[in-house]
Amino acid sequence: MEYFARHPTLDMIELYILNQLHFQDQQQMAKHLDGCQACQKMTGDLQEQIDIIRETLTIQ
Ligand SMILES: [Zn+2]
């Protein structure tokens, strides 16, 4: 049985992008993303938002 048989929460994805997950969770998340297009898209969208926020913060 896969650890992430179900989709990770948005919070988990956010932590994953920010590299705040435990190593093991990070690995499991990467594995899930590998086979889940829905979460891949969510991760991409979230990453974009975070990039925009970071850019905004840098400008100010
Ligand atoms: Zn998923």
| 27-57 pLDDT per residue, tens | 999 999 999 999 999 999 999 999 999 999 9
Residue 18 domain flag: yes
End-to-end CA gap in the chain: 47
Residue 39 domain flag: yes
CA of 10: how far to CAs of 6, 34, 60, in Å?
12, 17, 27
Residue 59 is predicted with a pLDDT of 76
Count of domains observed in the chain = 1
Rounded to the nearest whole angstrom, what is the distance from the C-alpha of residue 5 to the centroid of ligand 1? 8
Between 4 and 46, the higher pLDDT residue = 46
Residue 37 domain flag: yes
Q: Which domain holds residue 38?
A: 10-59
Cα R_g (the chain), whole angstroms: 13
Rounded to the nearest whole angstrom, what is the distance from the C-alpha of residue 59 to the centroid of ligand 1? 34
Residue 3 domain flag: no
Rounded to the nearest whole angstrom, what is the distance from the C-alpha of residue 19 to the centroid of ligand 1? 18
Rounded to the nearest whole angstrom, what is the distance from the C-alpha of residue 32 to the centroid of ligand 1? 6
Residue 26 domain flag: yes
